[in-house]
C-alpha cells in the first residue's frame, strides 16, 4: 500500500507546515474505493492477521462520534471511548477522543480499523481519506520502520525471511539439545504473522498499482509541444473582430521565460505536472486563467491582488484546450466550427520540424540558443524542393532516410568531378552499414557548440594512387590476412599492423578503406582474448581520428565495447574503456554508450581500493579505474549522461579516487568532475563529499593539466558561497594567484582567472586577494591575452572593485585605460564584464576623470545600441555612477548626439534588467533640468507610466519578487521627472499614481523609500492626491512615518501632509 500511495496517488503540495492532501481526482477515487473494499471484511478473510497489534497506532481526525462506536471491550470515559486491551507501554489498542470541536481516532489493529469504517456509514470515503492523509506511510506504522516505503528495490521482506529462518534453525538446534525456549517460539510465531500481514499488504499494493496503471494509460498526458501547438493555432484564430475570430485574446501568462524542457511554469509547480498558464479573453465572458497540466487543462483562480497566481483548481480537467473553451464560451463554440484548420496545422508542422532540428533532441546539452542559420537552411531546402516539384509533376519527391543522412549519404545533385568521385567511393564502400538501426531522433541534430572535436573533418584523399605511401598498401595486405587467416595468422597480422605508425592518418585511412574496421570490430565478438586485445589496441590508436571514430560508431563498435566492460579480464576492460573514451567525442556516440548501459558499467570500473603500497594486482585495478574515468570524462559532456552517472553512484567513487596520489589517475577524475560541475547537483555533492579540500591540494601539484582541471572545477563550483568559503579555509586562494604567473599556458590561465573571479564574490576572499597583490597581476593580464582569459580577468576585477580601496589600486596599476579599450570589443560576455568593471571603477571620482578623458562614457552609451539585453543592462548600470561622479554631468550627457533619445527608447524593452538599469540611469539624468526637459519631449512620462503597471499584472508579464529592483528605480525615476513642467499632472493622467500605491506592499525597504519620494512629488497635484487617497495610500504611509529611515519618514510625512492640506482646503471651501 505504501508504494501505491507514494507513486500512484496524486497529492497536493504541502502548505503552512502541514502535509499535502489527496487530490479529488478520478484516479484517487478509484484507489480509495479499492482500499475500502479491501478493509471492509478483512477480519472475515484474515481472522488471525486482523488481531495483529501495530508497532505504532494509526491516528487520524475522524467524522465518527464515540456514540456511533459499539465495540465490545470499550470503556466510556467522559464521552471518550477507550479499549480495555492495551499494547506495550500501556497504550490502548483503540481510542476515540474529542479534540476541540472534532474527534481523533487511534487504532492499533486492523479489526478496530474495520469497525470504525463500518461505523462511518456513507462517509467511508472521507474516513479512509483522512486516515491516509494523516498516515502517509501506514505500512511503517503497522509493521515497523523496517518495512517503510523506500525508493528503488525493497529487500526488507527477504531480509525478514532470512531472519526468521535463522531463528527457526537456532530453535531447532536448542530442541535437539533439549533446551526448549517457549518465549522464542512465540516470538517466531509473531514474526510469521507479521510476514503474512506484509505479504497481504504487498498484494494490495500490487493490485492498487495495476489499477492506477490501467487508469493512467487511458489518459493522454500533455507535453509542452502539444500545449504550444494548441495555443499557437488558437492565437492565429484570435483578434478584435467578433464576427471572424473565435477569441479576443489568448496568450501565455507569466514572464515569458521558457525552460529547457519547454515548460513555462515555475520549477516548483513543474513538480506537480504544470506545464504553462494560459490567459484567455473570450468575447462573451470574463478573463479565464487556465493551467496546462500533464493531466489536462483546467481553470484556476487566477492572480491575486499582489499578482501571485492562485493555482487552486476550479472545475473539471479537459484533454483538449478547445473542449474546455467550448464549455466556457458559447461564442467560441459557434465560431470554432466555422474555421479552416488544415493550412494552419501544416504551417505549424513545418515550424516544428525546423524547431526539432534546432533543439537538443536527446542530451539536453547547451547550444547557442536561437540559430537563424538552421531556419535559413530549411527555407532554402524548401524553396529547392518547390522548384524540383515544379519541374517534375509526375512523381512525388522522396526524401532520403535519416539513417542514411547520419552516414553521410546526401541527396543526389548535379555533381562536379570531385563530388562524383567522393559519391562513388561512398557507394562502393560497404563498411558504413551499421550493426544496429539508429533511431531517427538519434541520427541528426549534432551540436556544433560542444567541442571542436565534433566537427566533421574534411576527407582528404589523394586524387591519384601514385601519391600514396607504401605503408598504405602494406596495411591493406595485412587486412586481407585478417579476413582470411586462421587464429594464428590473425594474431600475427594484428602484431604486424601495430608495428606501423598508427598515429599517421594514412595508416588509419588505409585500415578503413579496405574494410579493416569491420574485421577489427568483428574480432571483438570472438572468444579469443588475444585477438580481442590486439584488435582493441589498434582501435584505441586509430580512433583518435574523427572520421574513424564516427565509422566505429556507425558499425556498432561501441555496443560491443560496452559488453566487453563486463569481461573478467582487466586488460580487456582497460582497452575497451580507453577506446570508448576516444570514440565518445561526439553526441551520437555518447548517446549510444548511455542507451546500451555503458554508463553504469563504466562507473563500476571506478570501484577500486586506494592503496599506497604498490603491487601488480593493485596497479592493474588502478589502471582499470583510470580507464573508466577517462571514458566517463568523454561521456560527461552530455547532460543526460551526467544524470545517469549520478544515479549509478559515480560521485562517491570519484571522491574516493580524488584522494589517489597518482597524477595519471587524478587528471581524468578531476576532468570528469569539472565537466559535471556545471550541474547544481554535482556542485552540491562536490562540496558535501569533501572534494574541495582535495581540489585545493591538487592545485599545488606540478602538473599543469591537473592544475588546470582543478582550477576549472573550482571556477564552476564557486557559484555557491559555501564553496567559496571552503576554498579560502583550505588555503586555495594562494595557489590560484600563483597560477597567474604561468602566462604561457592559456588554458590554465583561463581556469585560474575564472576561479579567482568567482571566489572574489565573497568579501572575505577579497581581503586575502588584496594581501596577495592579485589586482596588480590581473591588471597585467589585460593586454595580449585571448578572450577566454580576458572575460575572467575583467570579471575578477569587477568583483574586486566593489571594495573602494581596490578601485584606487586598479587605477595605480594602470588598469583603467585597458578596461576602457576593451569597450570596443565584440565578445558579448566580455562586454558584460567590462561594463560592470568600468561602472565599479567610476564610483571613484579620480577614476571617473580618467574614464571621461578616454571617452569611456561615450563608449558605454554606444553599447546601449547592442542587441544583447545583458550588454544593454550592464552598460546602463555603468552609466549611472559615471553621471553621478562626472564634473559636469549634464553637459557631458547632452554632448552625445541622440543619446537621450536612445536611452528613453530602451524603456520599450521587454527585459526587466534592462528596464531597471535604464530607469536608474534616467533618474540620474533627470537631476539636470535641461536634460529632464529633453527626455520629457522624447515621451519619458507615458513610458514610465506604462511600466508602473508591474502590479496591475496586465498579461502577467512581471513577477512581484523579481521586480522589486525595477520598482525601486522606476519610482525613483518618476520622482525625479516630476520636477519639470506639468509632468506631475501628466503622470496622473497616464494612470501612474494608483499602481505606485501598490508598490508600498513590497517587502523591500528600498522600494518603500523611492515610492514614498515619488508619491510625495505626485501629491503636489490635487488630482493625484485624490487618486492616492482612493487607492488607500494613507494607512501604509502612516506606518512608514515611524520608520528608522529618515528619508522614508520625510517623504511619507510630506505626502500625508499634502493630502491633509487638500482635505482641509476642501473643508474650508465647503463651510465658507
DSSP state of 439: P
**CA–CA separation, 769 and 759 (whole Å):** 10
**CA–CA separation, 1012 and 912 (whole Å):** 22
Cβ atoms of 755 and 718 closer than 8 Å: yes
Q: To the nearest 10°, report the CA torsion of 353, 354, 358, 360.
A: -10
Stretches where the chain sits below pLDDT 50 are 15-18, 341-466, 951-961
pLDDT of the residue at 254? 85
Q: To the nearest 10°, report the CA torsion of 345, 351, 354, 356.
A: -70
String of DSSP letters for 379-411: HHHHHHHHHHHHH--SSPPPPPPHHHHHTT-PP
String of DSSP letters for 962-1006: TTHHHHHHHHHHHHHHTTSTTHHHHHHHTT-HHHHHHGGGSS-HH
Which strands sit side by side in the sheet containing 80-83, from one edge to the other? 58-62, 102-107, 94-99, 80-83, 74-77
Length of the chain: 1072
Which strands sit side by side in the sheet containing 288-293, from one edge to the other? 249-253, 274-281, 288-293, 296-303, 309-318
Q: At 802, phi and psi to the nearest 5?
A: -70, -20
Pairing of strands 80-83, 74-77: antiparallel
Closest of 157, 184, 186 to residue 169, by C-alpha = 184
Measured over the CA atoms of residue 599, residue 604, residue 610 and residue 614, the dihedral's sign is negative
Which residue is associated with the grid cell 479489526? 111
pLDDT of the residue at 599? 93
Q: What is the pTM of this model?
A: 0.59
DSSP state of 66: G
Percent pLDDT > 70 in the chain is 82
Pairing of strands 102-107, 58-62: antiparallel
Cβ atoms of 558 and 436 closer than 8 Å: no
Contacts of 346 (CB under 8 A, 6+ apart): none
Cell of 951: 502590479
**CA–CA separation, 152 and 149 (whole Å):** 10
**CA–CA separation, 57 and 55 (whole Å):** 7
Ramachandran assignment for 815, one of left (phi > 0), alpha (psi -120 to 50 degrees), beta (any other): alpha
pLDDT of the residue at 610? 67
Amino acid at each position: 500500500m505504501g508504494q501505491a500511495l507514494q507513486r500512484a496517488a496524486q497529492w497536493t503540495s504541502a502548505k503552512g507546515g502541514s502535509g499535502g492532501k489527496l487530490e479529488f481526482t478520478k484516479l484517487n477515487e478509484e484507489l480509495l474505493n479499492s482500499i475500502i473494499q479491501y478493509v471492509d471484511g478483512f477480519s472475515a478473510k484474515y481472522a488471525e492477521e486482523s488481531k495483529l497489534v501495530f508497532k505504532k497506532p494509526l491516528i487520524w481526525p475522524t467524522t465518527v462520534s464515540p456514540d456511533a462506536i459499539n465495540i465490545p471491550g470499550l470503556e466510556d470515559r467522559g464521552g471518550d471511548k477507550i479499549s480495555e486491551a492495551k499494547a506495550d507501554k500501556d497504550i490502548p489498542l483503540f481510542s476515540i477522543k474529542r479534540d476541540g470541536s472534532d474527534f481523533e481516532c487511534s487504532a492499533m489493529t486492523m479489526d478496530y480499523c474495520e469497525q470504525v469504517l463500518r461505523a462511518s456509514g456513507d462517509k467511508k470515503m472521507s474516513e479512509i481519506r483522512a486516515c491516509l492523509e494523516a498516515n502517509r506511510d501506514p505500512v511503517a506504522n503497522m509493521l515497523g520502520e523496517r518495512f517503510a516505503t523506500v525508493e528503488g528495490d525493497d529487500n526488507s521482506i527477504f531480509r525478514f525471511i532470512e531472519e526468521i529462518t535463522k531463528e527457526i534453525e537456532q530453535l531447532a538446534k536448542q530442541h535437539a539439545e533439549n533446551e526448549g525456549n517457549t518465549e522464542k517460539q512465540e516470538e517466531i510465531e509473531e514474526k510469521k504473522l507479521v510476514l503474512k500481514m506484509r505479504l497481504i499488504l504487498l498484494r494490495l499494493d500490487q493490485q492498487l498499482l495495476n489499477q492506477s496503471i490501467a487508469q493512467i494509460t487511458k489518459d493522454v498526458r500533455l507535453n509542452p509541444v502539444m500545449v504550444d501547438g494548441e495555443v499557437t493555432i488558437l492565437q492565429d484564430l484570435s483578434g478584435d473582430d467578433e464576427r471572424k475570430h473565435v477569441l479576443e485574446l489568448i496568450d501565455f501568462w507569466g514572464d515569458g521565460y521558457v525552460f529547457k524542457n519547454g515548460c513555462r511554469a515555475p520549477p516548483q509547480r513543474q513538480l506537480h505536472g504544470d506545464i504553462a498558464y494560459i490567459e484567455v479573453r473570450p468575447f462573451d465572458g470574463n478573463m479565464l486563467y487556465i493551467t496546462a497540466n500533464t493531466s489536462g487543462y483546467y481553470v484556476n483562480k487566477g492572480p491575486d491582488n499582489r499578482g501571485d497566481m492562485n493555482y487552486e483548481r476550479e472545475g473539471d480537467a479537459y484533454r483538449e484546450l478547445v473542449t474546455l473553451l467550448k464549455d466556457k464560451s458559447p461564442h467560441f463554440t459557434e465560431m470554432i466550427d466555422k474555421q479552416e484548420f488544415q493550412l494552419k496545422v501544416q504551417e505549424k508542422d513545418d515550424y516544428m520540424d525546423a524547431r526539432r532540428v534546432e533543439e537538443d533532441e536527446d542530451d539536453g546539452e547547451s547550444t547557442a540558443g536561437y540559430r537563424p542559420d538552421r531556419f535559413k537552411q530549411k527555407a532554402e531546402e524548401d524553396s529547392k524542393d518547390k522548384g524540383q516539384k515544379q519541374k517534375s509533376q509526375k512523381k512525388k519527391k522522396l526524401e532520403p532516410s535519416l539513417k542514411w543522412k547520419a552516414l553521410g549519404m546526401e541527396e543526389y545533385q548535379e555533381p562536379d568531378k570531385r563530388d562524383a568521385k567522393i559519391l562513388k567511393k561512398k557507394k562502393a564502400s560497404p563498411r558504413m552499414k551499421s550493426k544496429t538501426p539508429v533511431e531517427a531522433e538519434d541520427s541528426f541534430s549534432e551540436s556544433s557548440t560542444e567541442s571542436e572535436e565534433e566537427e566533421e573533418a574534411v576527407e582528404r584523399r589523394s586524387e591519384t594512387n601514385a601519391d600514396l605511401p607504401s605503408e598504405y598498401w602494406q596495411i591493406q595486405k595485412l587486412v586481407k590476412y585478417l579476413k582470411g587467416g586462421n587464429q594464428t595468422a590473425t594474431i600475427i597480422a594484428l602484431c604486424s599492423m601495430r608495428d606501423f605508425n598508427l598515429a599517421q592518418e594514412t595508416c588509419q585511412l588505409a585500415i578503413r578503406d579496405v574494410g579493416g574496421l569491420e574485421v577489427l570490430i568483428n574480432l571483438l565478438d570472438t572468444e579469443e582474448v588475444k585477438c580481442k586485445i590486439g584488435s582493441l589496441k589498434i582501435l584505441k590508436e586509430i580512433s583518435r581520428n574523427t572520421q574513424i571514430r564516427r565509422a566505429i560508431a556507425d558499425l556498432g563498435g561501441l555496443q560491443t565495447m560496452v559488453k566487453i566492460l563486463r569481461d573478467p579480464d582487466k586488460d580487456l576492460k582497460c582497452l575497451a574503456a580507453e577506446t570508448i573514451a576516444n570514440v565518445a567525442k561526439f553526441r551520437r556516440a555518447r548517446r549510444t554508450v548511455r542507451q546500451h548501459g555503458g554508463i553504469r558499467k563504466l562507473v563500476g570500473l571506478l570501484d577500486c581500493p586506494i592503496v599506497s603500497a604498490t603491487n601488480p594486482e593493485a596497479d592493474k585495478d588502478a589502471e582499470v579505474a583510470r580507464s573508466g574515468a577517462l571514458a566517463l570524462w568523454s561521456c560527461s559532456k552530455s547532460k543526460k549522461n551526467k544524470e545517469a552517472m549520478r544515479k549509478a553512484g559515480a560521485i562517491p567513487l570519484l571522491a574516493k579516487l580524488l584522494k589517489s596520489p597518482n597524477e595519471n589517475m587524478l587528471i581524468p577524475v578531476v576532468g570528469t568532475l569539472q565537466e559535471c560541475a556545471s550541474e547544481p547537483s554535482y556542485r552540491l555533492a562536490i562540496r558535501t563529499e569533501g572534494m574541495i579540500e582535495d581540489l585545493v591540494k591538487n592545485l599545488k601539484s606540478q602538473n599543469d593539466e591537473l592544475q588546470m582541471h582543478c582550477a576549472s572545477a573550482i571556477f564552476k563550483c564557486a557559484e555557491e558561497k559555501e564553496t567559496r568559503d571552503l576554498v579560502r579555509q583550505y588555503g586555495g586562494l594562494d595557489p590560484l594567484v600563483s597560477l597567474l604567473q604561468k602566462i604561457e599556458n592559456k588554458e590554465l590561465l583561463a581556469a585560474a582567472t575564472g576561479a579567482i573571479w568567482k571566489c572574489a564574490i565573497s568579501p572575505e576572499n577579497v581581503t586575502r586577494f588584496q594581501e596577495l597583490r592579485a589586482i596588480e597581476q590581473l591588471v597585467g593580464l589585460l593586454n595580449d591575452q585571448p578572450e577566454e582569459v580576458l572575460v575572467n580577468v575583467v570579471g575578477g576585477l569587477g568583483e574586486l572593485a566593489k571594495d573602494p580601496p581596490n578601485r584606487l589600486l586598479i587605477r595605480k596599476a594602470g588598469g583603467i585605460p585597458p578596461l576602457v579599450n576593451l569597450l570596443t570589443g565584440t565578445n558579448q560576455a566580455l562586454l558584460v564584464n567590462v561594463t560592470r568593471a568600468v561602472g565599479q571603477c567610476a564610483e571613484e571620482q579620480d577614476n571617473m576623470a580618467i574614464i571621461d578623458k578616454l571617452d569611456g562614457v561615450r563608449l558605454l552609451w554606444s553599447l546601449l545600441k547592442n542587441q544583447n539585453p545583458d550588454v544593454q543592462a550592464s552598460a546602463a548600470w555603468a552609466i549611472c555612477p559615471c553621471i553621478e561622479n562626472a564634473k559636469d554631468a549634464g553637459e557631458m550627457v547632452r554632448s552625445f548626439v541622440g543619446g537621450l533619445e536612445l536611452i528613453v527608447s530602451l524603456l520599450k524593452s521587454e527585459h526587466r534588467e534592462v528596464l531597471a538599469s535604464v530607469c536608474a540611469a534616467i533618474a540620474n539624468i533627470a537631476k539636470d533640468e535641461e536634460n529632464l526637459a529633453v527626455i520629457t519631449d522624447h515621451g519619458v512620462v507615458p513610458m514610465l507610466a506604462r511600466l508602473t503597471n508591474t502590479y496591475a499584472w496586465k498579461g502577467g508579464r512581471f513577477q512581484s519578487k523579481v521586480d522589486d529592483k525595477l520598482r525601486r528605480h522606476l519610482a525613483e525615476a518618476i520622482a525625479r521627472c516630476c520636477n519639470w513642467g506639468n509632468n506631475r499632472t501628466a503622470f496622473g493622467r497616464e494612470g501612474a499614481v494608483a499602481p505606485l500605491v501598490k508598490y508600498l506592499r513590497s517587502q523591500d525597504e528600498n522600494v518603500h523609500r523611492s515610492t514614498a519620494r515619488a508619491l510625495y512629488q505626485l501629491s503636489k497635484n490635487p488630482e493625484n492626491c485624490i487618486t492616492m487617497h482612493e487607492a488607500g495610500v494613507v494607512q501604509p504611509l502612516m506606518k512608514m512615518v515611524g520608520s528608522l529611515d529618515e528619508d522614508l519618514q520625510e517623504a511619507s510625512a510630506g505626502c500625508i501632509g499634502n493630502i491633509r492640506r487638500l482635505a482641509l482646503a476642501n473643508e474650508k471651501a465647503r463651510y465658507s
